A and B are shown apart, each in its own frame.
Chain A
C-alpha cells in the first residue's frame, strides 16, 4: 500500500533536516506549525509564551533530528518535542515567579476531589451535531481550569497520549503519584463535562 502524501512529505522533510537544510525547518512551521501552536498554547495559555515554546521546540527539533529513527510518526515526535518544551517553559516560569513547584499544588495522598470546575454553561444542547463546537470549548475550558500539575498530566497523557513511562520521566513523578494525579484530574473533568458526554461514542472497549 502506498503512503499518504503527508507521510511522503514528512519523510522528505526529515531527510532535509538531517542534511541540515534550514529551509526545511521553515517548511515544518508552514506544514505542522498550527498543531505545534495548539500544543504550545494549551500549555502556556497566551500567544507570547506559546511563541517562546515554539522557538524552543524548533531548536530541539533541529538539534535532535539525528536521533529520530522513524519508529513513531514524525508528527507525533514533533508534537511530543513541543509538549516537552511547554513543560520546561512552565517550570522556568514557576522558578521566575518564585511560585510553588509543580509538585506542590494539591496532595496526591489527599483523596478529596479537586474543586469543582466552573464552566460557562452546563445545560445540554439539543442535538449532538450542535454540541460538537460547544463540546470542544467546554473541554478546553475544563482542562484550563485544572490546577497546573493536573493540567500537565492530562495534556501529556490524555491529549498527547504519551506513554505513562515517558510522562513519569518528563514530570519526575513516581508511577503511583502520576496515576493518582491523572485519575483525579479525569474525575474532575468528568464531573464538569458530564452534561456533554452523552452521545459521545466510546471507541475503546
Chain B
C-alpha cells in the first residue's frame, strides 16, 4: 500500500463525521443561518452523500407541506358567519 493511500485513509479516519454534521447543523443549514464557509462545506458534502441529501430534502419537504397543508380546509359554518356579524353589530368594544 502506498504511503499516499495510507495518508489518505488516515486523514479520512481522523476527519470528523461529515454526516453527523448534517444532522447537527440541519436547522441552521435550512434556515440559512450558517456562515457562508460552513454552508458551502456542508452543501458540498450533502451533494456527494445520498443519505444526507435524502435527509435534508425530507426535512425541507416537511416544512413545505406543513406550510401548504397546515390549516384545515373546512369552510366556515354559515351560522358562525352570522354570529360573528351579530357580534360586530352588538359589541360595545367596537365603536
A-side interface residues toward B, CB under 8 Å?
Answer: 20, 22, 25-26, 29-30, 33-35, 37-39, 41-42, 47, 51, 54-55, 58-59, 62-63, 135-136, 139-140, 143, 154-155, 158-159, 161, 164, 179, 182-183, 186-187, 189-190, 193-194, 196-197, 200, 202-204
B-side interface residues toward A, CB under 8 Å?
Answer: 26-27, 30-31, 57-67, 69-77, 80-81, 83-85, 87-89, 91, 93-95
Give the Cβ gap from A120 to chain B, nearest Cβ, in Å. 15
Nearest first, the 7 A-B pairs at minimum CB distance are: A159-B70, A38-B71, A139-B69, A136-B69, A37-B76, A190-B62, A183-B27
Known pairs A33-B81, A59-B93, A200-B64; A38 contacts B72 (CB<8 A): yes
Is A197 within 8 A of B81, CB to CB? Answer: no
Known pairs A25-B88, A139-B65, A204-B64; A59 contacts B94 (CB<8 A): yes
Is A193 within 8 A of B62, CB to CB? Answer: yes
Which residues of the partner chain A approach B64 to less than 8 Å between Cβ atoms? 200, 202-204
Q: How many A-B residue pairs have CB under 8 A?
A: 116
Which residues of the partner chain A approach B26 to less than 8 Å between Cβ atoms? 183
Give the Cβ gap from A145 to chain B, nearest Cβ, in Å. 13
Instruction: Give Cα distance in the complex from A37 to B30, angstroms.
Output: 30
Is A41 within 8 A of B72, CB to CB? Answer: yes
Interface residues of A: mostly helix, strand, loop or mixed? Answer: helix
